[in-house]
Amino acid sequence: MTYQLDVTKAFRGSQGDIPGTVFRGGQRKPYKSSRNTAGMTALSFSIAKGMACIKQNVSAFGISDVNGEKRFLAELSDSSGLVSVIEYNESNKTFYHNCRSTMGFCYHLFEMIGLMRLQVEPNGEFAQNFNAIDFSRTVNDEQHFFVAADALYFDSKDHYHGNEVEAYEDNPDRKVVEDLTFLIGKDGNFTVPTSFGPSSSAAPTSSPSSASPSFQPLDWNRDFTDAEEANIQKNLEKLQGKPMQSKYDWMAKMIGNGDAQNLMFLGGAGTGKTTLARQLALLLNAPVYIQNYSLNAEESTIVGRFVPDPAVPGKFNWIDGEFLKAFRNGGFYLADEINFAKPAVMGVFNNVLDGVGQIVLDNGEVIERHPNFRFFGAMNPGYNGTQRLNKAFINRFDQVVMFQDMDPAEMKKVIVEDSGYSNAKVIDKMIEAYQAIKAKIKNDEIDEAIISIRNLVAWGKTIKNTLNIVEAARSTVVVACCYEDEDVQKEILEDIILAKFQGVKA
């Protein structure tokens, strides 16, 4: 049977606030979207459930091929293990499903729409809000599953109202040709036959656990302050909807339950150390404070300082530094490039990490370590101008994690997604140039030079705007990676960039 989709049908009972939610007249900023600027939410329960259930119910999501016709396909599992399938063909605007009832399909429709949004708009508003959902909560907790559901409703209403709906029928020629389940932090488990090998997009699982354990967000037993809310919102914006790879689920679990409270991340520039710390903070519902120690961070900005009281002459007030904010009130603190830290700062960290868990301020106040404080150190070992951290200090960390360079397939994916430039042949050559420059820096022992995936993303953005590959490389790669050495710049430009790109069109 074929019928037309009536999107508005699901929302007839959605007038006014939803009873029993915290959104009544006081919605918190991180849970607003640009579509809903009022202080309350007045949309349907089914939208919210459809959005929040994506991660809970979807067991596999990908691209299917039915006799040469490409469709989005999602498999959904209920609590009894029964699998339903829903497909969408963009070319003929038709949904196909075998859900048990029209109302059941109504809920699942929004899972399919949400999954498609994650695929076609990986940095869009929906992706950002989806990645901020506290998935450890049940779908009956309206506060947490009603995140930016209004954006999903208004966009999907315009696009899918009036589309046709048909029954999903088994077809021996149907194959899943691409696994996209990694978009929701899972590995695809299809019942529909597949015709692909292990997905290069999905993050592989790795030790210490090959499983993907569940993790609990931190329990605060209080409301966040306005400053903490602003911190979380800023972190959400910085991540631009980029999900954490499932291979780090074990780390999120250990940080959440307190088995890992001090972590050291080692690796070169652009390998994802800072991004992972941000993702962990967002997933575990914590503000994150980041300071870069290569910028001569002083103890006064890290721990705190006394400042004159403008209202009372001769009086001084204590102001917490970024580190002390997290230590006192709870939150994640990342000491980026920690091997640039000055000795006085390292002395503070030794006290924090050695099990004492307290800091004594200059005024004699003793600050106890908050149970939700997590400390991250990050560094590029052996980088010029840094100090060698002693083994006793490193031994104070619960986890020491080494980050490797991305493989070419991962790099290509990041360049396309983050720069918006998509010429595959040119990007392959850009990655070859990156590898050649990196090898030159290492082999010629050029201490002051550094190149990372960030340079390639900037290069891609500039090519997209100028359509000039070589000139785009000059400012984003050649000068940027070794701005103090003109001889090295000339060698990189002539021996690598021009050699690879002379005559190549953008």
Q: What are phi and psi of 267, to 5 degrees?
A: 160, 165
Q: Please report, for residues 25, 125, 159, 213, the alpha-carbon distance to residue 33 in angstroms, rounded to integers and kept in the order given.
A: 15, 8, 19, 30
> How far is residue 502's CA from residue 506's CA, in Å, rounded to a whole number?
11
Q: What are phi and psi of 326, to 5 degrees?
A: -70, -40
Q: What are phi and psi of 90, to 5 degrees?
A: -70, -30
Q: For residue 48, which of 122, 118, 142, 137 has the smallest C-alpha distance?
A: 142
Is the CATH code 1.10.390.10 the one for domain 226-402? no
How buried is 286 (Cβ within 10 angstroms: 0-12 exposed, 13-18 middle, 19+ buried)?
A: buried
Q: Could you tell me if 280 and 332 are in contact, meaning their C-beta atoms sit under 8 angstroms apart?
A: yes
Q: Please report, for residues 83, 177, 230, 308, 440, the alpha-carbon distance to residue 488 in angstroms, rounded to integers and kept in the order given.
A: 59, 46, 43, 49, 10
Burial 321-330 (b: 16+ CB within 10 A, else e): bbbbbbbbbb
Residue for token digits 């420059």? Answer: 437
Q: Is the pTM of this model over 0.85?
A: no
> How far is residue 274's CA from residue 167's CA, in Å, rounded to a whole number?
46
Residue for token digits 């899918």? Answer: 160
Please name the helix (run of DSSP H) or strand (run of DSSP E) that holds residue 419, with its range, or none: helix 408-419
Q: Where are the domains of the chain?
A: 3-184, 226-402, 408-501
**Residue 341 is encoded by which pair of tokens?**
């830290």
**Residue 420 is encoded by which pair of tokens?**
């918006």
Q: Please report, for residues 269, 326, 471, 499, the alpha-carbon distance to residue 440 in angstroms, rounded to integers and kept in the order given.
A: 16, 41, 21, 15
CB count, 10 Å around CB of 60?
A: 23
CA terminus-to-terminus distance, the chain: 49
Q: For residue 41, which of 15, 60, 61, 67 has the smallest C-alpha distance?
A: 15
Give the three-class secondary structure for 121.
Answer: coil
> How far is residue 302's CA from residue 4's CA, in Å, rounded to a whole number?
60
Burial 6-27 (b: 16+ CB within 10 A, else e): ebeebbeebeeebeebebeeeb
Going residue by residue through the chain, which has 506 residues, state the pLDDT in tens, using 9 for 90 and above.
456 655 544 433 333 333 333 333 333 333 334 444 443 333 344 445 556 667 778 889 999 999 889 999 999 886 666 788 999 888 888 888 887 554 456 557 777 888 888 887 777 767 776 776 655 544 444 443 343 344 455 556 656 666 787 888 888 889 998 888 888 878 888 889 888 654 333 333 333 333 334 577 888 988 899 999 999 989 988 887 778 888 888 899 999 999 999 999 998 888 889 999 999 999 899 999 999 887 677 778 888 888 898 889 989 888 899 999 999 999 999 999 898 887 777 877 887 787 778 888 877 889 999 999 999 999 987 665 556 677 778 888 999 999 887 888 888 988 998 898 989 899 999 999 999 998 888 888 787 778 889 899 999 999 999 999 999 999 999 988 888 788 889 999 999 999 999 888 88
